[in-house]
């Protein structure tokens, strides 16, 4: 992933020095000549961040990063559940990586390491984690996503910060999804939580047919069988766009491009599908099913 730096190094370092002055143990007068340069890591490269739930020890999210600014002693690696947050109370320590390669770090975090950080609970398909690189300088200062946050500077691509990166847990799609499913959530309200519905395989390879779920036969008729298209490698899924599938008393239900996951390893179907009905946009409706 390449990013074009717009602001010069001198301006950047001066700006970071102002932003992170709170990292010092004592107050510092706001005179640039008295401030340090700060320190962080820049992104060199990273992988797709996918962790296989069925092989958590053998799959990793990785990022190669390089030191910038004040001399660094080490990186401390943390993880949190969900989207990134500057609230360090949500972070769990994973490990430390010493600066033993002239400021070049290869940060690798496996599913097993994430599990250990959270007390041993196994990672589950569909979970999102955020990895944090916390820089510790040789004089003991700390710089990370928790304190480089003024005006979203930590999120700006102009600086090529590598303070965080993502990990998403998936499992490969192997088919054989046909069976009875319990409705966990149906925002279209054709079914209630706890209802049992049938799901079949197909009609094509790496597809799952939910045409007996939407529409509920008690309320509507099938115009075209509604099906989910699944990526074999990850279980990431979509439904066809602008697709008429249900006739509810002469009024057609049509969906936009939906997205979600179908996990063979756990028997989970979780989709968010935009629905249009009777001339109105019903929004992105969640359908969540669990194989019985």
Quick check: 96 pLDDT over 70? yes
Quick check: 42 pLDDT over 90? yes
Q: Quick one: pLDDT at residue 149?
A: 55
Q: Is residue 215 reached through a cis peptide bond, with omega within 30 degrees of 0 on the bond before it?
A: yes
Whether residue 271 sits in one domain with residue 144: no
Assign 277 a pLDDT band (cuts: 50, 70, 90): very high
190, part of any domain: yes
Measured in whole angstroms, the distance separating CA 44 from the mean position of its chain's CA atoms is 20
Quick check: 28 pLDDT over 90? no
Whether residue 204 sits in one domain with residue 154: no
Whether residue 246 sits in one domain with residue 195: yes
Whether residue 96 sits in one domain with residue 202: no
Buried b (16+ CB within 10 A) or exposed e, 203-224: eeebbbbbbebbbbeeebeebe
End-to-end CA distance of the chain: 42
Whether residue 38 sits in one domain with residue 138: yes
Q: Quick one: pLDDT at residue 181?
A: 98
Out of 170, 201, 227, a domain closes at 170
- In DSSP notation, the chain reads ------S-HHHHHHHHHHHTGGGSSS---S-GGGS---EEEEEEEE---EEETT-TTT-EEEEEEEEEES-EEEEEEEEEESS--S-GGG-EEEEEEE--STTEEEEEEEHHHHHHHTTTPPP-TT-EEEEEEEEEETTS-EESTTT--GGGGGG-GGGTB-SEEEEEEE--------EEEEEEEETT-SS-TT-EEEEEE-SSTTEEE-TTTSS-TTT-EESS--EEEE-TTT-EEE--SSEEEEEETTEEEEE---EEEEETTTTEEEEEEEEEETTEEEEEEEEEEEE-
3, part of any domain: no
Quick check: 2 pLDDT over 90? no
Whether residue 159 sits in one domain with residue 72: yes
Q: Quick one: pLDDT at residue 5?
A: 35
Whether residue 234 sits in one domain with residue 148: no
In this structure, what CATH number is given to the domain that contains residue 85?
2.60.40.2550
Whether residue 154 sits in one domain with residue 280: no
Residue 277's domain comprises 179-291
Assign 155 a pLDDT band (cuts: 50, 70, 90): low
| From 1-10, 53-62, 111-120, 235-244, the region with the lowest mean pLDDT | 1-10
Whether residue 187 sits in one domain with residue 124: no
Q: Quick one: pLDDT at residue 160?
A: 81
132, part of any domain: yes
pTM of the model: 0.71
Per the document, the length of the chain is: 292
Mean pLDDT for the chain? 86
pLDDT digits (tens, 9 = 90+) for 49-72: 999 999 999 999 999 999 999 999
Out of 138, 170, 202, a domain closes at 170
Q: Quick one: pLDDT at residue 245?
A: 97
Whether residue 142 sits in one domain with residue 48: yes
Q: Quick one: pLDDT at residue 158?
A: 63
Q: What percent of the chain has pLDDT over 90?
A: 73
Whether residue 145 sits in one domain with residue 24: yes
Q: Quick one: pLDDT at residue 153?
A: 57
How many C-beta neighbours within 10 Å does residue 83 have? 10
Quick check: 290 pLDDT over 50? yes
Q: Among positive and negative, which fits the CA dihedral 289, 210, 170, 162?
A: negative
The arithmetic mean of pLDDT across residues 226-238, rounded, is 95
- Closest to 30 measured CA to CA, from 39, 38, 22, 42: 22
**Total of domains in the chain:** 2
- Closest to 131 measured CA to CA, from 152, 113, 149: 113
Whether residue 140 sits in one domain with residue 267: no
Out of 170, 188, 208, a domain closes at 170
4, part of any domain: no
List CB contacts of 202: < 8 A, sequence separation 6 or more. Answer: 208, 209, 227
Assign 154 a pLDDT band (cuts: 50, 70, 90): low
Query: Which pair of structure tokens corresponds to residue 290?
Result: 């669990």
User: Are residues 169 and 127 in contact, defined by beta-carbon separation less than 8 angstroms?
Assistant: yes
pLDDT digits (tens, 9 = 90+) for 199-222: 999 999 999 999 999 999 999 999
204, part of any domain: yes
């Amino acid at each position: 992933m390449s990013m074009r730096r717009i602001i010069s190094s001198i301006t950047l370092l001066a700006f970071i020095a102002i932003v992170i002055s709170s990292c010092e143990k004592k107050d510092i007068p706001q005179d640039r000549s008295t401030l340090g340069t700060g320190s962080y890591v820049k992104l060199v490269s990273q992988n797709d961040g996918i962790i296989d739930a069925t092989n958590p020890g053998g799959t990793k999210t990785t990022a190669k990063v390089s030191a910038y600014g004040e001399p660094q002693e080490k990186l401390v690696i943390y993880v949190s559940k969900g989207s990134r947050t500057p609230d360090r109370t949500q972070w769990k320590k994973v490990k430390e990586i010493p600066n033993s390669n002239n400021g070049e770090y290869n940060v690798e975090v496996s599913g097993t390491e994430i599990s250990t950080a959270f007390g041993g609970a196994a990672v589950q398909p569909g979970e999102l984690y955020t990895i944090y690189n916390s820089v510790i300088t040789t004089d003991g200062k700390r710089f990370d996503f928790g304190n480089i946050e003024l005006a979203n500077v930590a999120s700006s691509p102009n600086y090529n910060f590598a303070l965080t990166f993502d990990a998403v847990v998936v499992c490969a799609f192997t088919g054989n999804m046909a069976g009875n499913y319990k409705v966990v959530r149906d925002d279209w309200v054709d079914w209630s939580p706890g209802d049992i519905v049938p799901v079949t395989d197909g009609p094509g390879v790496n597809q799952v047919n939910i045409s007996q779920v939407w529409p509920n036969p008690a309320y509507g008729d099938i115009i075209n069988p509604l099906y989910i298209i699944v990526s074999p490698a990850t279980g990431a899924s979509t439904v066809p766009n602008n697709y008429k599938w249900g006739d509810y008393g002469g009024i057609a239900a049509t969906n936009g491009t939906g997205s979600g996951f179908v996990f063979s390893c756990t028997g989970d179907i979780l989709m968010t599908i935009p629905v249009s009905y009777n001339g109105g946009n019903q929004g992105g409706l969640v359908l969540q099913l669990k194989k019985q």
